Amino acid sequence: MTKKDAPPRWDRKMQQRLARGEAAALGELYDRFASLVHNLAHRVLGDERAADGITRDVFVHVWEHPEAYDPKQGPLRSWVATLTHRLAVQRLRATETAALAQGSGGSAEELERKVRRASVAARADYIVTSMPAPLRAALDLAYFQRRDYRQTAADLGVTEDEARRRLRLGLQLLATAHDAGAPGAPPGYGGAV
């Protein structure tokens, strides 16, 4: 479902229903967020089976601890994405560390770089799927469809000024994917995007 603008009311009600132990709510939660969770986990881990495992872990966690979500802190979607990110990066670090311990080559610095790269890429994915639709549409035209900004403006039916503004703003949002600080720091799945 493409319901990014679901009101916070939906988030609150969902949390209440999960807390009440309503299995139907768990199904709805899965239907809304499973793609997001699986794609993010896959971006970090690059492996289907591992992404399945993270998906299971994320939903188990939400189902067992619905009270851990605080609607005042932002949308449920961001919270689920942050949780996914944390669990996926944890797993990546664990598997890479195990591989390192077995002497399969590589260095601790390479490991950190790999974790950081995966982490930034996953955050960027999240930002792209969560940014306002007009910005995403402009980036899509200019990058994937290789339209220049004048063509982008024409395609979107906006002024050239507006097309330039959207491209710049979209990239500014995307650039925040780099801003999480050191690896392991909480990723910025804020409600702003």
Binding site for another protein (CB under 8 A): 1, 3, 20-28, 30-31, 34-35, 38-39, 42-43, 46, 48, 52, 55-56, 59-60, 63-64, 113, 116-118, 120-121, 124-125, 128-129, 139, 142-144, 146-150, 152, 161, 163-172, 174-175, 177-178
Q: At what angle do helices 23-45 and 76-101 cross, to 10 degrees?
A: 50
d(CA 23, CA 19) in angstroms, rounded, equals 10
Q: Is 41 exposed, middle or buried (0-12, 13-18, 19+ CB in 10 A)?
A: buried
Least CB distance from residue 7 to another protein, whole Å? 14
By C-beta, is 72 or 142 nearer to another protein? Answer: 142
By C-beta, is 97 or 117 nearer to another protein? Answer: 117
Least CB distance from residue 44 to another protein, whole Å? 10
The DSSP code for 176 is G
Least CB distance from residue 140 to another protein, whole Å? 9
Interior/surface letters 141-164, b for 16+ CB within 10 angstroms, e for the rest = bbeeeebebeebbebbebeeebbb
By C-beta, is 72 or 146 nearer to another protein? Answer: 146
By C-beta, is 55 or 78 nearer to another protein? Answer: 55
Q: Give the sign of the dihedral formed by CA 170, CA 171, CA 174, CA 176.
A: negative
Token pair recorded at residue 100 = 């390192």
Token pair recorded at residue 69 = 């979500």
Least CB distance from residue 71 to another protein, whole Å? 20
By C-beta, is 43 or 72 nearer to another protein? Answer: 43
Least CB distance from residue 42 to another protein, whole Å? 6
- Choose among 88, 84, 122, 115: nearest CA to 100: 115
